[in-house]
Structure 1
Amino acid sequence: MNVQPGLDQFLSLEPPPPRPRRRRGVRLAVLTVAVLAIGFVGLRYFYPHAVEGEILRLGMLNVELQGPGTLSALTEVSVGSRIQARIEELAVDRNDIVTKGEMLARLAFDDLSGELDATEASAHAAGRAVSAAQAERDRAVATLEKARATHERQVALLAKGVASEAGLEDALAARRQAEADLARAGRAIEQAEAERDAAMARIAVARAQLDDSVLRAPISGVVVSRARHVGEVLTPGSEVLHLVDPASLVLTARLDESGISAILPGQEARVTFARAGNAIPGHVLRLGREVDEETREFEVDIALDSLPANWALGQRAMARIMVERRGPVLTVPTSFLVWRDGHPGVWVASSSRARWREVALGESGAQRVEIRRGLSAGQRILKPVDLYPFMRVRLAGSAI
């Protein structure tokens, strides 16, 4: 009777719960995170990373001024019509090379030839009228000389009492008539000559108009644009073609007015066109004498030693003008500069660690800039690519 309750009690006891494995998983996760953290810190601050850079040394610096510019021409001309006419023929098109005096276009002026023929006929008639008037004057001169002789003889006979008063009066009247005829012949010559000169002037105008119906190249160069087509009617002054002399092409660059005192004609320059490869050498041709009131910039014309394979007026480019050669000075590549809060600086390798140093800049060149304060010769400077403070570094290709 007493055993049964004990057995039931024993059977009613539950087995103890198994030992939880959760703590082992947490410890493993913590250990993994710790290992990764140690590895990250070690990789970030203890493993030396190879970084591009250079050792600072004194050297020469080509001080340059730079500014944007556009391609323009000193010699260009717009070819247009001086008369109202229809385009009958276009002998050239864009990109064609022409020489001075070459025919570019022909205009149809239907009434011009007939007008010229009529004017020439009028001139011939006026010339014959002048000849007839001159012959009439010669006849009047002979008549006057005869009348004068008769009058003088009558005066002498009257003094001797041989001639009568009536005869003298008739001789005087004949003389005056001859003088009047001579004067009238002179005026007829003047009128005929005036008509002849007017006809010759009309011929000159007609021939000039005939010449204007053929458009010729006023300069040798390249046709850069065509504004009209065959069959269009032109009005006086309308443009047909635009010519440019390639030898007169210059880059008109815009520079800040602070550099105007440093620019001189003949200084070396380099011009880089957008999306072009190598820079094109040139020299300063002339300076502009006007500063833009808004941008405070002035213009400089740069003559190019050569032209890009494909050029166009208004094409943009960047110009660099060498104004001074300084040295020896400390310089760094402009791509190495890093700005913080408006102050320039450079990453340096100090005790094999990357550190940012603020510097004071001087004059600038094409790819390098002068360092006046903050660095010294022999220091190792780093290219700012994925750098951070105290990063362990070594110059690529060196053992530091």
Structure 2
Amino acid sequence: MQTYKSRKFFSGALRALKYPLALAIIAGSVWYIRNQPIPVEIHVVTHGSVVQSVKGTGTFEARIRTTISPKIQGRIAEVLVDQGSVVNAGQLLVRLDDEDLAQQVRMAMAGISSSEATLGRFRAEIAQAKSTFNKTEAELGRTQKLVEANSISQSEFDQTKEAFELAKSGLIRAEANLLEAEQKVTLNRETHKFQEARLADARLMAPFDGLVIERERDPGAIVVPGSPILQLISLDELWVSAWVDETEMDQLKAQQAAQIVFRSQPHIAFEGIVTRLGKQSDRETREFKVDVRALKLPETWAIGQRAEVFIEIARVDDCVLVPTSFLEKQGSEQGVFVYTDGVAKWRALKLGIEGRESVEVIEGMSDSEIIVKPSHFGTKLTNGRKVLAP
């Protein structure tokens, strides 16, 4: 009986101690975790320049672009360039099969030669007709006076007049033949010009210095007027045609400095300048186009590739800078955690303009101070928390 009571006593005592002990273990664990130093990244505050910018997203384009296509139907005989070829104005790019066209030119030339020979013959005839007409006209005048003086008979005068009328009609006929021959020569010359133009149209030339960015046809293909064969761009002006929110319109103007970031090289910014602003806003996205000319380009690029532009609207030089990734917000204040003797201390800051990666500090921070942020996503710093710097 005594043993049973003793056992019951100890069991109750253990139960009584169980919960406080568990709470003590939990409290100790929480205290330990909260007092463990948090791994952090550090940054030494420096002076520098900060640029506030407006962002836009668009595609890389050429200001001048054209499609090389034929004016006439035909079969492609040669394509003398390929994608990536740099060409000069007037350079032969594509040649259509021109055998039939060359034959038409030769036939037109033969027509000119024939009609010019005919024209020469009619010119000789009209010279003869004019000579005969002039003689008969003079003879008619002479016999007119003689018949009036009764020096010759009326029948002799009538014979002279008949000869004059024949010469006159011959001259009229010769003049008509000459006019027709001249018109025939003109027609044949125009036909020759037309056939030469068609022959020239079989040779497709580069309209300007540029770069072939696409080849769409090969030799042997049949093309009709307007069929695309090559895509050609001018390298004189390449730009990113970017869409920018219309609320930023009032801050933008031509000749503003900009930076271009291609998605193929997201960590490199290339210099640019605003060339022109669009005058129409998209009614659905409420964005408008801004064309930013590229002053420098990556070694490899492609028309149509995606890019971001950052247009400079404000700039401050020689100011205290803090990376935006280190900024924290507590209540209505923005600030950073300053590293002091292994502890993170909260400090509110007065900030100026914000750039892509850093922000201007007007008050609250000086050079060479060290600021920290948690190394691991989701970890929060609090004022006075121990930290473990690298």
Give the shorter-chain TM-score range. 0.7 to 0.9
The normalised TM-score by structure 1 is: 0.80
Quick one: which of 279, 301, 317 aligns to 1:289? 279
Quick one: which of 107, 114, 117 aligns to 1:125? 114
Q: 2 CA distance for matches of 1:194 and 1:356? A: 98
Measure how far apart 1:274 and its partner are. 0.3
Quick one: which of 287, 305, 312 aligns to 1:315? 305
Q: Within the alignment, does 1:279 sit opposite 2:275 as a pair?
A: no
Measure how far apart 1:72 and its partner are. 0.6
CA contact (8 A) 1:331 1:370 kept: yes
Rate the CA distance shift 1:232–1:344 in 2: closer, same or farther, 3 A.
Answer: farther
Q: 2 CA distance for matches of 1:253 and 1:26? A: 73
CA contact (8 A) 2:37 2:388 kept: no
2:96 corresponding residue in structure 1: 107
Gaps of 5+ in 2: none
Q: 1 CA distance for matches of 2:171 and 2:350? A: 101
Q: Which amino acid aligns with 1:271?
A: I
Measure how far apart 1:70 and its partner are. 0.7
Q: 2 CA distance for matches of 1:30 and 1:292? A: 68
Q: 2 CA distance for matches of 1:324 and 1:112? A: 63
Rate the CA distance shift 1:160–1:123 in 2: closer, same or farther, 3 A.
Answer: same
Q: 1 CA distance for matches of 2:161 and 2:279? A: 81
Deviation digits for residues 195-231 of structure 1 (CA, Å, limit 9, x no counterpart) = 1121112212222222222222222222211111222
Rate the CA distance shift 1:143–1:105 in 2: closer, same or farther, 3 A.
Answer: same
CA contact (8 A) 2:344 2:372 kept: no
Q: Which amino acid aligns with 1:193?
A: E
Q: Within the alignment, does 1:364 sit opposite 2:354 as a pair?
A: yes
Match of 1:223, SS state, is strand
Measure how far apart 1:93 and its partner are. 1.8
Bigger drift between 50-59 and 265-274 goes to: 50-59
Measure how far apart 1:51 and its partner are. 3.6
Match of 1:286, SS state, is strand
2:200 corresponding residue in structure 1: 211
Quick one: which of 172, 177, 182 aligns to 1:193? 182
1:170 corresponding residue in structure 2: 159
Q: Which amino acid aligns with 2:246?
A: E
- Rg larger in 1 or in 2? 1
Q: 2 CA distance for matches of 1:338 and 1:296? A: 32
Q: 2 CA distance for matches of 1:57 and 1:223? A: 47
Match of 2:109, SS state, is helix
Percentage of identical aligned residues: 28
2:291 corresponding residue in structure 1: 301
2:324 corresponding residue in structure 1: 334
Gaps of 5+ in 1: 1-12
Aligned CA RMSD, in angstroms, stands at 3.6
Bigger drift between 67-76 and 379-388 goes to: 379-388
Q: 1 CA distance for matches of 2:80 and 2:124? A: 52
Measure how far apart 1:17 and its partner are. 8.8
Rate the CA distance shift 1:308–1:56 in 2: closer, same or farther, 3 A.
Answer: closer
Rate the CA distance shift 1:212–1:26 in 2: closer, same or farther, 3 A.
Answer: farther
Measure how far apart 1:119 and its partner are. 1.8
Measure how far apart 1:121 and its partner are. 1.4
1:4 corresponding residue in structure 2: none
The normalised TM-score by structure 2 is: 0.82
Bigger drift between 58-67 and 180-189 goes to: 58-67
Deviation digits for residues 219-262 of structure 1 (CA, Å, limit 9, x no counterpart) = 22222111112222111110111112233221112222233333
1:387 corresponding residue in structure 2: 380
CA contact (8 A) 2:373 2:381 kept: no
Q: Within the alignment, does 1:116 sit opposite 2:109 as a pair?
A: no
Measure how far apart 1:318 and its partner are. 0.8
Bigger drift between 23-32 and 321-330 goes to: 23-32
1:1-400 map, 5 Å: 19=7, 31=21, 34-35=24-25, 37-44=27-34, 46-49=35-38, 51-52=40-41, 61-276=50-265, 277-326=267-316, 332-337=322-327, 345-346=334-335, 348=337, 363-369=353-359, 376-377=364-365, 382-383=372-373, 385=377, 386-390=379-383, 392-393=385-386, 396=389
Measure how far apart 1:171 and its partner are. 2.8
Measure how far apart 1:157 and its partner are. 1.8
Measure how far apart 1:52 and its partner are. 3.8
Rate the CA distance shift 1:56–1:196 in 2: closer, same or farther, 3 A.
Answer: same
